[in-house]
Every structure is written in C-alpha cells, then in structure tokens.
Amino acid sequence: MTEETPVKTELCERFGIEVPIFGFSHAVEVVAAVSNAGGYGVYGATRRLAGEITDEVAQIRAAVGDRPFGLDLVIPNKVPERNDRAELEAMVPDQHRSFVAGIGARYAVPAPSQPGMRTRFIRSEEIQDAQIAAVAASDVNMVALGIGCPPEVVAAMKAKGKTTVALVGQEKHAARALEAGVDMLVAQGYDAGGHTGEVGTFSLVPRIVDLAGDVPVLAAGGVATGRHIAAALTLGAQGVWIGTAFLMTEEYAPHLSPGELEALLHAQTTDTVISRAESGKPFRQTRSAWSDEWAAPGAPKPLSHPLHDVLVGDILGAIIEHDIRPLQHYGAGQGIGWFDRLRPVAEVVATLVREGDAALDRAGRQRETAA
Ligand SMILES: Cc1cc2nc3c(=O)[nH]c(=O)nc-3n(C[C@H](O)[C@H](O)[C@H](O)COP(=O)(O)O)c2cc1C
C-alpha cells in the first residue's frame, strides 16, 4: 500500500495506521492480522474474563509489535451486581423454560458438556469491573465501548493514555458519548452484524458526522467492498469499522463450527434477520430454525438482557457443540452476501483498499469530465 492511496485520511497519521480500516473480531489472530495489514484491529473481549483479557492482549501485542490495536467491551447500564447464575435462574419464567426445552426435544439437541459462551459467566458489575481494570492495566492502544458509554470508564481509559471510541446507532447515543469525552465515534447502521439499531447506515453516518464536529467518525454496517469505503468517506466519515467481512477469513474459520461456517458461506444479503432470541437485545444473525422458532406464532417474547443469556446460553452452546444444522446460525450483517469463500485477512484488506482507491479515482474522473 502506497503513501498516496486515495482512501487514506487524516486519521491514519493520527493513529499510526496505513489505511482507515478498523476490523472488529472475536479472534486474536484476525485482530493481529488487520493491524499487520496496515489497518486497526479491535478485539471483541466482552465475553472474556479479566485474566483471559490480560493474556490475549499480550498475544496480540506479541504478534503486532508496535502497531496499534484496540479492545471492545459492552457495558450495558443495567446488569446484576454479582456473577451469580442461580440468582438469575430463579427469575426465568416456566413458560420460557419449557419453550426452550421444546426446541431442544424437537431438534434432538443433546446436553452440552459445559456452559455456553453466554452462560460461562453472568454479565454483571462484578465481571465488568474486573474486565475494565484488566483493560486499563493492559497496553492496548484503544478501548471501544459497544453498548453503553459510562463517562467514568472513558475518563479512566483516557487517563491511561488510551484512545476511546463509542459505537452509536442514534444521534442521542452520539450526544451522550461526546459528552463523556470519547475521541472517536463509530456510526453503526441497521445493516450491521451483531447488536444493531434501526437507522440505516446511509441515513445515520452524515447525521453523526454533523453532530460530531471535530471528533472523527467511522462508518459501520454493511461495509463490504471498497465502493462502500468510498461512499463512507464521501458521507464525511474518516474511515470504516467492519465486522462481517472478517468472519469469512482463513484466520477466523477455525473459530467456527462446521454448521456456522456453512451458514455464513451460503448466506445472501437477504438471509439475515434481527432477532432478540440471541441475547435479549436486537441482534442481526443468519436466519435459521432458531430465529424462526422464536418468531413463530405463540412463541414467548425473548427475556431482557442478561436474563435471556441464562435461558438460552447452554442450548446455544449445545447446538454448536453437537453441530445441529437447522438451528446453527451466526451473527452477521447484510454485507455477508458479498462473501462466499475464505481468504486471508491481508487479502481482504488489500482488496478493500484497491477497490476503494479505484472508486475514488473514478469519482474524481467523473468530476473532471463533467467540468
Ligand atoms: C458476530 C459479530 C459479533 C459482534 N459483537 C460485537 C461486540 O461484542 N461488541 C461490539 O461493539 N460490536 C460487535 N459487533 C458489531 C461490530 O463491532 C461492527 O460494528 C459491525 O460488525 C459492523 O457492521 P458489519 O457487520 O456490516 O461489518 C459484532 C458483529 C458481529 C458480526
């Protein structure tokens, strides 16, 4: 990648990166590969315990040397005080329990050998405080806050010299994050994989750019090709934040079960749904029997978060462990339709940059011709 690459923005110099592509991933290998490809890798660590965060940050640092990388935590404002599963279990209604047991019976899901990702601990103040302390003590360069943006966390991370970032899906979230003092916003639109809001990326990004003033904004949600990067820059963003494209990589594939990989490889743009059946909050994922069962007439409404985690965490773990295909699904955005094979992360980044440069060049030539 050359110095003159048209997709390069001011933000690159400020953050010590070559291209303004931020790659979110739950895999340390992907995070390291994005940073090593000249972008900014961000590790999704919200389901990791404090000790795991310390070890995994060290692994990424060893792989990237002095290149910057970030870490993402989700800190919702209403969670239980303690990491006490029994306390929440007592609050799960019987109707919900029997509905989930019914799905397990209909699809012959065996018991899991261990708690699922959503039940290995309870999202609680106790866990969050330990995670925040581990991140503050680590040498990660940037801390992103996915849901919730507590001012005291922003201040604590800034005091440690870390860049702070908030993901926002509405103008009111952006206003709160700016008030908390974040250094950058990610405007994440409806198209995005994982937890997402109702405003489309095209409608959201320019509104957040206008609101943010001097604070840089990244566009997220549906960024799958270089043309999307060119569009994001034209909307006023200084870069892009991508999750879905990095799922379909050689580095991420070992973290997927065969059924999850199959669901992602075959999914087209129309094959994702937003369902609260995953975590209790709206979560875009590949459509499957799991989302269909919860959307069927007579199905109970998903519980609130994190109570829903306790209800479904173990069966979701069992579905993955035993590869129960009709129920297998994965968090993914509408951009998944662009990806039908695995490539190395470096190739994904290089392709995005090449296509983005070409799209911006084309737009420039069109301007010249018109003049
Ligand atoms: C499987 C998956 C899990 C995600 N988990 C988180 C998360 O834990 N925290 C977070 O801030 N964003 C999470 N996201 C959202 C990403 O940070 C990013 O905003 C989103 O993927 C961008 O849209 P795209 O999927 O269209 O690229 C997740 C996305 C996916 C696909």
Asked if 95 and 206 sit in the same domain, the reply is no
* Closest CA to ligand 1's atom 11: 146
Ligand 1 atom closest to the Cα of residue 167 is 11
The answer on 212 and 108 residing in a single domain is no
Q: Is residue 171 part of a domain?
A: yes
Cα–Cα distance between 149 and 177 in angstroms, integer?
6
Same-domain status, 97 and 145:
no
Residue 367, domain member (yes or no): no
Residue 62 lies in a domain: yes
Indicate whether 146 and 33 sit together in one domain: yes
Q: Report CA torsion sign: 172, 174, 176, 178.
A: negative
Relative to the CA of 44, which ligand 1 atom is closest?
8
Atom from ligand 1 closest to the CA of residue 73: 9
Share of the chain above pLDDT 90, in %: 93
For the segment 141-161, the average pLDDT, to the nearest whole number, is: 97
Task: Round the average pLDDT of the chain to a whole number and report it.
Answer: 96
Q: Is the dihedral of CA 196, 197, 200, 206 positive or negative?
A: negative
Contacts of 173 (CB under 8 A, 6+ apart): 149, 166
Q: How far apart are CA 63 and CA 209, in angstroms?
A: 34
- The answer on 132 and 187 residing in a single domain is yes
* Dihedral angle, C-alpha 50, 53, 45, 175, nearest 10 °: 70
Tens-place pLDDT, residues 274-316: 999 999 999 999 999 999 999 999 999 999 999 999 999 999 9
Q: Are residues 281 and 222 in the same domain?
A: no
Tens digit of each residue's pLDDT (9 = 90 or more) over 171-225: 999 999 999 999 999 999 999 999 999 999 999 999 999 999 999 999 999 999 9
Q: In this structure, is residue 369 part of a structural domain? A: no
Do 171 and 274 fall into the same domain?
A: no
List the CATH number of the domain containing 8.
3.20.20.70
pLDDT at 72 over 90: yes
> How far apart are the CA of 94 and the centre of ligand 1, in A?
32
In this prediction, what percent of the chain has a pLDDT beyond 70?
99
Show the ligand 1 pocket: residues with CB < 6 angstroms: 24, 44, 46, 72, 74, 146, 167, 188, 191-194, 220-223, 241-244, 331-333, 335
pLDDT band at 3; cut points 50, 70, 90: low
Test site for ligand 1: of 21, 22, 24, most ligand atoms within 8 A of the Cβ: 24
The answer to whether residue 367 scores a pLDDT higher than 80 is no
Question: Is there a domain that residue 190 lies in?
Answer: yes
Does the structure show a pLDDT above 70 at 2?
Answer: no
Determine the Cα–Cα distance for residues 140 and 121; give it in Å rounded to an integer.
Answer: 24
In a domain, 143, yes or no: yes
Q: Can you give the residue range of the structural domain that contains 99? A: 84-120+252-339
Are residues 133 and 50 located together in one domain of the fold? Answer: yes
Q: Which amino acid is at 261?
A: L
CA of 194 to the centre of ligand 1 (A): 5
Q: Are residues 129 and 264 in the same domain?
A: no
Residue 1 has pLDDT above 70, yes or no: no
Would you state the pLDDT for residue 48? 97
Mean pLDDT of 338-354: 98
Tell me, what's the pLDDT at 69?
A: 98
Residue 370 forms part of a structural domain: no
Contact 312, 100 (CB under 8 A): yes
pLDDT at 369: 83
User: Residues in the chain, how many?
Assistant: 371
Claim to verify: residue 228 and residue 184 sit in the same structural domain? yes
Using an 8 Å Cβ cutoff, are 42 and 142 in contact?
A: yes
| Least confident among 327-331, 347-351, 361-365 | 361-365
Write the secondary structure of the chain as one string of H (helix), E (strand) and C (coil).
CCCCCCCCCHHHHHHCCCCCEEEEECCHHHHHHHHHCCCEEEEECCCCCHHHHHHHHHHHHHHHCCCCEEEEECCCCCCCCCCCHHHHHCCCCHHHHHHHHHHHHHCCCCCCCCCCCCCCCCCCHHHHHHHHHHHHHCCCCEEEECCCCCHHHHHHHHHCCCEEEEEECCHHHHHHHHHHCCCEEEEECCCCCEECCCCCHHHHHHHHHHHHCCCCEEEECCCCCHHHHHHHHHCCCCEEEECHHHCCECCCHHHCCHHHHHHHHHCCHHHEEEECCCCCCCEEEECCHHHHHHHCCCCCCCCCCCHHHHHHHHHHHHHHHCCCHHHCCCECCHHHHHCCCCECHHHHHHHHHHHHHHHHHHHHHHHHHHC
CB of 68 within 8 A of CB of 161? no
pLDDT value of position 253: 98
- pLDDT grade, residue 78 (50/70/90)? confident
Residue 243 CA to ligand 1 center (angstroms) comes to 5
Same-domain status, 162 and 219 = yes
Our count of domains for the chain comes to 2
Amino acid present at 322: H
Mean pLDDT of 315-323: 96
**Which distant-in-sequence residues (6+ apart) come within 8 Å of 195 by Cβ?**
74, 146, 147, 279, 281, 282, 283, 284
Taking the centre of ligand 1 as the mean of its atom positions, its distance from the CA of residue 241, in whole angstroms, is 9
Tell me the per-residue pLDDT of 217-250, one tens digit each, with 9 for 90 and over: 999 999 999 999 999 999 999 999 999 999 999 9
Domain co-membership, 25 together with 115: no
Residue 6 confidence (pLDDT) above 60: yes
| Per-residue model confidence (pLDDT) at position 228 | 98
| Closest C-alpha to 262, from 314, 338, 326, 321 | 326
Q: Is residue 278 part of a domain?
A: yes
